[in-house]
Amino acid sequence: MSVRRIGDTLVTRIEEALVPMFDPATFLVPFERAAWDKHLLWMVPNYFDPASQQLMMSFHSYVIRTAHHTILVDSCVGNHKDRMPRATWHRKTYPYLENMAAAGIHPEEIDIVLCTHLHIDHVGWNTRLDNGRWVPTFPNATYLFGKTEFDYWHKLHLSKPADPVGFGSFADSVLPIVEAGKALMMGETHAIDDTMLIEPAPGHSPGHVTLRLTSEGQQAMFVGDIIHHPVQVYYPDWNSRACLWPDQARASRKQVLEHCAEHRALMLPAHFGKPHAGHVHRVGDGYRFEFVA
């Protein structure tokens, strides 16, 4: 758990897991060993685990508390969910809700859940298992789903019933929210209030979005999976292998990096190891990252 203040807004990071996962040579596309090795010294151990030779990946949510709203951004993997053959995330028992309670936040207090996109590791805690049924974990919340994003995966869900979307995550973590009448389908942009704006950033997924927070002259950007690992700040042409439309993903990443650099917006990604956030700085034609504890 970490808490930081953006103007008069509190942002709390709720951790689900921090684990080594993914070989960088296969997860990052394209991957250049010489370019990677230039940054290896600062990446070990928080962003690259030399023992396993895998990226250190954090899975966490952000809870934004304002005078008017308590907003959860992205809901990780979730518990008790059948994810085979994705054994890494199969029937987990993460202490996520306990971590949230330790931060003084209870599910009933959340009034908005924003999913930056609908991949398996960003929707899991949308629902919890209750007497054999998947019910909303945050019972008083409106869940914000991008309409473009939802429509894309819903069409796949209907057309390929034998090939569950997101290893079943669409069926058990998205559709129950819609069926409960808790979902709000967003257009291209969506203002939560005069301090928070949701904007399109497609490429990693069809309708991926970011959330821009402005408070008392300070800015922060919640960027989801626009960027998975801090080395991508230095090599923004490197995608993750999960990016559906590579050229769009690169364009969205560069747009986010440029905005963060120009406006000194704190960048809050979904998967960076510790420290989990930081500032982007322009260096010639590229960028560097300043971690903020």
pLDDT at residue 293 in the model: 80
Residue 202, pLDDT above cutoff 90: yes
Cα–Cα distance for residue pair 199/270, rounded to 1 Å: 16
Helix, strand or coil, per DSSP, at residue 115: coil
The structure tokens 């050229």 sit at 247
Q: What percentage of the chain has pLDDT greater than the value 90?
A: 97
For the record, the structure tokens of 291 come out as: 């971690």
Please, which residues have CB within 8 angstroms of residue 152's CB and are 6 or more apart in sequence? 205, 206, 207
DSSP state at residue 265: P
Residue 182, both tokens: 């808790």
Residues 151-168: what's their mean pLDDT? 94
Phi/psi at 125 (nearest 5 deg)?
-85, 10
**What pLDDT does 188 receive?**
87
In DSSP terms, 20 is beta-bridged to: 56
Task: Report residue 289 as tokens.
Answer: 């990252």
Q: What average pLDDT does range 268-272 have in this prediction?
A: 98
**Spatial separation of the C-alpha atoms in residues 292 and 140, rounded to whole Å:** 33
- Is the pLDDT at 1 greater than 70? The verdict is no
For the cut 70, the answer to whether the pLDDT of residue 157 exceeds it is yes
What is the structure's pLDDT at 276? 96
| pLDDT average, residue stretch 221-229 | 98
Q: What is the pLDDT of residues 79-117, one digit of tens each?
A: 999 999 999 999 999 999 999 999 999 999 999 999 999
Distance CA 289, CA 257 (A): 10
> What's the chain's average pLDDT?
97
* Superfamily of the domain at 2-292: Ribonuclease Z/Hydroxyacylglutathione hydrolase-like (3.60.15.10)
Contact 278, 223 (CB under 8 A): no
For residues 277 and 260, what is the distance between their CA atoms, to the nearest angstrom? 12
Average pLDDT for 164-168: 96
Spatial separation of the C-alpha atoms in residues 254 and 38, rounded to whole Å: 21
Cα–Cα distance, 11 to 165 (Å, whole number): 31
Token pair belonging to 57 = 């990946």
Element housing 248 (H / E): helix 246-263
High-pLDDT (> 70) share of the chain, % = 100
pLDDT at 2: 87
